A and B are shown apart, each in its own frame.
Chain A
Amino acid sequence: MTAADGQALLHVDGLGVAYQRSIIGVQDVSLRVPAHGIVALLGSNGAGKTTTLRAISGFLGLDNARVVAGSVTFKGRRIENLSPHQTARRGIAIVPEREKIFPNLSVADNLTVVAPAGVRGAERNGLTELVYHYFPRLAEHRRRAAGLLSGGERQMLAIGSALVCKPDLLMIDELSLGLAPIVVDELCGRLLEVCRELGLAVLVVEQSAAVALRFADHGYVLENGQVAFSGSSRELSRDVRVQESYLGASGGGRRKYGDVVEERLARGNSHA
């Protein structure tokens, strides 16, 4: 069961992305992100999660890829194949996996440089104070060069700079990658607070299903470029197949890698 439809904030319908006009990245992917709440996009390496995010945020052109099928609709208007600049102005902010902060600018500068044009000094200060409110550790390091921050602090700063842009949809690519579990816990907690209090929609790409399903409301699992499962996070956590492939539970017995691959392939073949 997907999230309540009707006027979802972001509709992705039958999305197909091809790299260099020949290599299929994702095929027939559909998902809904409601106006409030957290949606998780799960799957192992190469499943197509980042491709999907890029298709939404307009970064596809970099890898010589294009949306070749389906549509991406945000706030009622189609946005596929727009440039990053244009999607940013519509209210989508993405925290990318790699280039996520400005390393040689101070933390404070990282937050002020991204304030949207037309935002005056007072409002800008208000926005940065809001970020410091949610991430007090950043306030401590206000004057520090961002490149010197630890991994967790960088992720906080990246999320903070996205918040300064006052987005309606926040997308995070690989929230927990490279971070210690305790840091991830803190991050997830803050993210939940932010989402609830600011009324944002959040789309999180996560390799670690266990982490994601703990705080997301709904989830989609991608395999080989297609949606394999979807549902509320409670439903997904209880789904045996998800448990076995992604959550590490195996009902007492050990599964061989070959069995997992076979089962996935069988599932893949049964997808029309």
Chain B
Amino acid sequence: MFSRTPRPATRRLPIPAWVLRAIASRRGRLGLAVGAAALLVIPFVASSYELDLANQVLLASVGALALMLLTGFAGQISLGHAGLMAAGAFTVGIAYKEFGAPFWVALPASAVLGAMLGLIFGLPSVRLRGLYLAVSTLALHFVVIYLCGEYETNRAMSSAIMVNAPVVFGHQIYGDRIWYFLLLAAVVVTLILCANLLRSRTGRAWGAIRTNETVAAAMGINVPRYKLLAFVISATVTTVSGALFAYQRGFVSVDAFSFYLTIQYVAMIIIGGMPSLAGALLGATFIVLLPHAIQGVLLPMLGADNPGSAFAAIYAAFGAVMIFFLMFEPRGLLGAWRRIQRRLRFKRVPLGEVSE
């Protein structure tokens, strides 16, 4: 269920099975090389609009991976995602505004805050499940947003907090291209971290907890500990992604972190397909690109051209797409992909196999 193929103990590197299979064949190696090259070349061939989109996708991927760990793999529902990102962003903002703290202080500070917040957000999960857990995380989200709003109103005169570009080893990180590589590195690091976790005892514990908590506890797994661990790790990554968000945009404002943002991330992991790291990436890409696709396609159809209508149309279409997936494709894009794969391979599958 959380491990599709039995993993030989000798494989210690966190490389997914499909990559290994690809490396084994010549066509696969070529495909991988082309893919990697494409990723590296994008900043030099894409227009600035496309590059900005790519950066958004990468940034969203980090947050989506974090949420996928928590909800997709550990089975803990959380609706507080935007609040955590806001916490990360505001840590950076406050650190810069009040203390002039540099990048290499503010970023770890946001990670530490993220860990602490993860503990707080995760405490209800020890006693609550499902709907009530979701509601508690939602409530905490609103509290965090309130605190950030307080700060912004009182200390920043209700306007956004400007943040200078981060300086790493004497170089200023400014401009879409550099940010692309930084964010790409962030995604890769997060992927490796997640893959490692999932292969470890922690990942197995999470899988057991997600399947059936009572049975997991009966098997001797310390359920509260692993739940809290999931929250803490996920929250840390999320706050860091919020911090990166603040640095990349250059300013911090509480308006960017609404409940709608949380829902966008939830949609990412659902539409991508739970539980799956690739699903998180797929979902992030889909959700980030969706508004632009709608703007390009739907609006000319509707004849709506003012920005208010544009936003409303995007909003409405997002809701509709999410409903579509919830009703008809609960396993997400990845689930649909696997179903198609199975259909294509149908003739080779022996008849005795249990489907689904």
Contact = CB atoms under 8 A, between A and B. Distances in A.
A269 interface: no
A90 interface: no
Contacts of A21: 354-356
Interface string B334-356: 00000000000000000000111
Contacts of B354: 20-22
B228 to A, nearest CB: 33
Nearest to A22: B354
A184 B334 CA distance: 55
Contacts of A20: 354
A20 B355 CA distance: 9
A22 B355 CA distance: 9
> For this complex, into which size category does the number of interface residues on chain B fall?
under 10
B64 to A, nearest CB: 31
> For this complex, into which size category does the number of interface residues on chain A fall?
under 10
A61 to B, nearest CB: 16
B354 to A, nearest CB: 5
Contacts of A22: 354
Main secondary structure, interface of A, reads loop
Contacts, number: 5
Main secondary structure, interface of B, reads loop
Contacts of B355: 21
A21 B354 CA distance: 7
A225 B192 CA distance: 49
A3 to B, nearest CB: 38
Interface in A138-169: none
Contacts of B356: 21
A231 to B, nearest CB: 38
B231 to A, nearest CB: 32
A20 B354 CA distance: 9
Interface string A7-26: 00000000000001110000
A249 B354 CA distance: 43
A91 B356 CA distance: 36
A21 B356 CA distance: 10
A176 B354 CA distance: 38
A226 B164 CA distance: 77
A22 B354 CA distance: 7
A21 B352 CA distance: 11
Interface in A20-67: 20-22
A21 B355 CA distance: 8
Interface in B106-139: none
A224 B291 CA distance: 57
Interface string B156-168: 0000000000000
A24 to B, nearest CB: 13
B179 to A, nearest CB: 48
Interface in B304-356: 354-356
B212 to A, nearest CB: 16
Interface string B284-311: 0000000000000000000000000000
B350 to A, nearest CB: 14
B330 to A, nearest CB: 15
A90 to B, nearest CB: 31
B331 to A, nearest CB: 16
Interface in B155-204: none
Interface in A169-224: none
A20 B356 CA distance: 9
Nearest to B355: A21
A86 to B, nearest CB: 24
A58 B233 CA distance: 46
A120 B354 CA distance: 51
B342 to A, nearest CB: 15
A69 B263 CA distance: 45
A228 B16 CA distance: 51
Interface of B: 354-356
Closest 4 A/B residue pairs (Cβ): A22-B354, A21-B354, A21-B355, A20-B354
5 contacts: A20-B354, A21-B354, A21-B355, A21-B356, A22-B354
